[in-house]
Amino acid sequence: MAEIGPPPLTGIKVLEFAGLAPGPFAGMLLADAGASVIRIDRVSDTRSLPTNDSLTRHKASVAVDLKSPSGVSFIKELVSQGADVLIDPFRPGVLEKLGLGPDELLRINPRLIYGRLTGFRRDGKYANMAGHDINYIAVSGALSLLGRADDTPHPPTNILADFAAGGANLFQGVLLALLARQSSGKGQVVEANMVDGSAYLATSPRFGLKSGIGDRGRGRNLLDGGCPYYDTYQTKDGKYFSVGALEPQFFAILIRGLGLEAHGLEEKRFDFDEWPAMRSLFKDTFKKKTRSEWEAVFDGTDACAAPVLDYEELEIDPAREGDQRPSVTLQGTPCLAIKQRPEGASDPVKHGQGAGVVGDGYQGEPLAPGDGGPDMLDKWLGWKKGDQYDVQKGAYVLTKATSKL
């Protein structure tokens, strides 16, 4: 077995201002890769209760009163003492008004990576407007591509803007800035917004609008639900099966499995006028067997046909690929695990993950303001409660500054 090193971001210190969805997701990606992440929570009358952020894996928390000079001083002290990354999830101008904007903090710590995440562009028409995932993908153009031809555009829950274009995009930007810092010795501001991120993710279908591949309108093209052999079908038991048999050799295997060889479908694959009849035929055929029966037909074949699995069955069925793992496998420096692994049960090199965590990847662990904060401050800086800092009415404050700001 190859020698296993620590996770790739071991030693990187991250301050994550508490938020929802994209900011915490970026912080979780950093934490899963071994970074040490402290979430900065607000102080409130419910300070002993967890927030509704479930993306807390491997993180700790400190609660700070950002409206008070003592709270601002506490953040500045953490930055001056060597924080590597800061995640700002707020609307434009919020941290600047508190004296915690990038100009101020990069003056204090020139090596800081100041990660900023917004929905709309900071310099665009909608910069000062509130919005959610659906609005960001709407103005990016991506939403216009999603949905059936005979229905309104449909958002893919909040996966596209919040998580892919937002949190994951900011994570990528932070990694690029950390890499650049190795050469320059300097930090920088990293800005991500969900409009540009969504538009970038839609590069291929956007090009398709001009090339003729995807110019037939929403829901009428090869990959957007218009094509009968790139779609999903209900089975006899009310479950679903996915089909993606685009290439001719895969399509031929699909047709054999469905028992439809006599219909001459191979010659009609690219005839748009034939697609409605082909879809109707596929629909009726899939309804004749249960999902399990179709699995018995297509498992192990190249028909590009597979069951649509839901997370409830993935969680309880050990035969499925439901054990949640890091998104990439680093065999030499594996990321931290998402699923709890029994001792000696799996090879960390094979699965690319370190020690297991509670929850098996299906349930986020609550993190109340202040949870794990003392241990993390000790680990980061050797700070002890009552020495360098104290906690007053739930808020962390300095008692002895250790740097000259």
**Residues assigned a catalytic role:** 162
For residue 140, what are the contacts with CB-CB under 8 A and spacing of at least 6?
161, 165, 194, 195, 196, 198, 199, 202
Classified as helix, coil or strand, 155 is coil
275 near 220, Cβ under 8 Å? Answer: no
What's the CA dihedral at 172, 173, 176, 182 to 10 degrees? -130
The Cα 139–Cα 197 span in angstroms is 12
Alpha-carbon dihedral of residues 211, 215, 218, 224, nearest 10 degrees?
Answer: -50
Structure tokens at 139: 């103005």
| CB-CB contact of 166 with 21 (8 Å) | yes
Nearest to 327 by CA among 315, 338, 319: 338
**Cβ count within 10 A of residue 382:** 11
Q: How far is it, in rounded angstroms, from Cα 243 to Cα 259?
A: 15
Contacts of 152 (CB under 8 A, 6+ apart): none
Structure-token pair, residue 359: 């929850």
Contact between 63 and 372 under an 8 Å Cβ cutoff? The reply is no
Residue in this structure with the two tokens 């609660």, named with its chain if needed = 63
